[in-house]
A and B are shown apart, each in its own frame.
Chain A
Amino acid sequence: MSSYKSPAMQRYLRRLALFMVAYIALIFAVGTVFRTNPPTGALAWGAAVLPALPILGVFWTIARLLAEETDEYMRQLLVRQSLFATAFCLSIMTVWEFLQNYEVVPPGNGGFGAAFFWFVGLGFGGVWNALTNRSASEE
């Protein structure tokens, strides 16, 4: 998000790394289970939801960062970044939905859901913030 690493940002990065490791482990483990011995019924529901949980954890991590960051300017940048991500994600998903409604594109999303586009938007928002700070560096 920027080169500045406040204590809140350091906690955010630790939490983010933890959830990303959990996500990678679960996406491979659950994928393997569904390919080799697909569960059924409630077990299938439970297993399929497992990889989503670390993603929810990342959302919680971002919420904690916004709550814990004591530097008000950096917090404002984070809020702007999150709003940019939300607008980016909603725009992509809205356009995609209409393309599907009129059957211009096939149903499904190829595994690229709303969270994916939100994180892409978060990345773009981070670049915007970095450019803002760089252009105003100390003379």
Chain B
Amino acid sequence: MNNRLKVLRAERNWSQQDLADRLGVSRQSVNAIEKGRYDPSLPLAFNIADLFDLPIEAIFLREGDSE
């Protein structure tokens, strides 16, 4: 699944580790989600949305949708 995590993180000048610490997950998890190798569960997706104060659909994009 495509997502805007990397862009949102860059806008805040956060490293992957910074984001991982804020979410309480490993840096590897953030990396895997950013690269679309892992789709987060709904609870984690909601946590990410809450952290960026955005709706989930503004962060995670359907297949075929561009950023």
Contacts and interface: CB of A to CB of B under 8 A. Distances in A.
Contacts of B15: 138
A74 B26 contact: yes
Interface in A115-139: 133, 136-138
A112 interface: no
Interface stretch (A33-41, A51-59, A65-73): A65-73
Interface in A1-52: 2, 4, 6
B29 A71 contact: yes
A76 B29 CA distance: 10
Interface residues of A, number: 13
Contact of B26 (A71, A136, A137, A138): A71
Contacts of B31: 133, 136-138
A71 B21 CA distance: 12
Given A73-B25, A133-B28, 10 more contacts: A6-B26, A73-B33, A74-B26, A74-B28, A133-B31, A136-B28, A136-B31, A138-B15, A138-B16, A138-B27
Chain A interface secondary structure, helix, strand, loop or mixed? Answer: loop
Interface of B: 15-16, 24-29, 31-33, 35, 37-38, 40-41, 44
A57 B47 CA distance: 35
Contacts of A73: 25-26, 28-29, 32-33, 38, 40
Contacts, number: 38
A76 B44 CA distance: 14
Interface of A: 2, 4, 6, 70-74, 76, 133, 136-138
Contacts of B29: 71-74
Contacts of B16: 138
Nearest to A3: B28
B35 A4 contact: no
Most buried by A among B15, B16, B28, B38: B28
A76 B16 CA distance: 19
A138 B29 CA distance: 11
